[in-house]
Structure 1
């Protein structure tokens, strides 16, 4: 779905999902506006990708979404989280670890025990590039600058609020 398609793509999302609730819509657009990202996600979009992504990257995103994951271009998800956390009178009080998908939790838990992307890919039967996409999303969602920081946030959160898996 393109947000700038004739008739406005955002207006088409709700009717599509009401007719076909199991559809998984991925937005491919030039819009980097946080409002567009939030509106699309709130309406049920499962992926938000900027035009300019390579064909392989897009294929990976489509595979992730088809497998039940949600994907937002990492730079946009970081900006969206930043905007949400700085909005007046609406502080984010939830643990950012809770924003991770089940697959992202698996990946970050394996990072936390010291596995490389290649080792994680083998263990989870994924392509290494898919693990890298998950890591980009994890870093963005956790606002971590590197794998070590993400692992530390995972450990701190796991100790504080998650039962052992």
Structure 2
């Protein structure tokens, strides 16, 4: 049996925090080992409880963004996921540059959040699709970033298998992922590559491989 993913939830809105904790602990595979409401709580809980995933709000006493580098300085392998209402590109970039593995908007459903957490616990990263598209647009206009460079390692694996004709179900079986997690990866891929379906993504992937061979 797979060990439960341990979580800590740091948010200064008790009702929201309790809702997240209740939603996740009602599902199989999650255990909450700590909760708090400030940067100081985040630092203490990370050090004392060593959760697999630390969920942090941005707008809390001391600041969630300010907590990230302090936590990672002490615990370099701590996986931090921002769970916030902020859609500001500067906040997203600051979180990712500081070392956060995920940036999730609070409007997300509990099942989707669970799938995102499972993916990050397995080594993936995640940015809400609407935000990643905006980031690529903004950074691309300044630096002409190759969109394939924005794909995570897991997204590249999913894209390679999708391009080979595998369904989401079979990709999930091959990579030991939930089918819904694969769907999230495909959504991320479509957004980052600015395509609308699997065929266009596969064609873009083959074109990119051809360019790299030249």
Offset, 1:150: 1.0
2:8 alignment partner in structure 1: none
Point out where structure 2 has 5 or more consecutive residues left out of the alignment: 1-55
1:3 alignment partner in structure 2: 58
- Distance, in Å, in 2 between the alignment partners of 1:7 and 1:123 is 43
In terms of fraction of residues, the more strand-rich structure is: 2
- Which of 144, 159, 169 aligns to 1:92? It is 144
- Distance, in Å, in 1 between the alignment partners of 2:184 and 2:211 is 27
TM-score normalised by L of structure 2: 0.70
- Distance, in Å, in 2 between the alignment partners of 1:67 and 1:121 is 13
- Which of 157, 175, 181 aligns to 1:130? It is 181
User: Looking at both structures, which has the greater relative contact order when contacts are Cα pairs under 8 Å and sequence separation is at least 6?
Assistant: 1
Matching of residues 25-40 of structure 1 within 5 Å: 25-40=80-95
1:80 alignment partner in structure 2: 135
- Distance, in Å, in 1 between the alignment partners of 2:77 and 2:91 is 22
Offset, 1:156: 0.3
CA RMSD in angstroms comes to: 1.6
- Distance, in Å, in 1 between the alignment partners of 2:79 and 2:58 is 15
1:142 alignment partner in structure 2: 193
TM-score normalised by L of structure 1: 0.90
Offset, 1:14: 1.0
State how many pairs are aligned: 159
Offset, 1:80: 0.8
Point out where structure 1 has 5 or more consecutive residues left out of the alignment: none
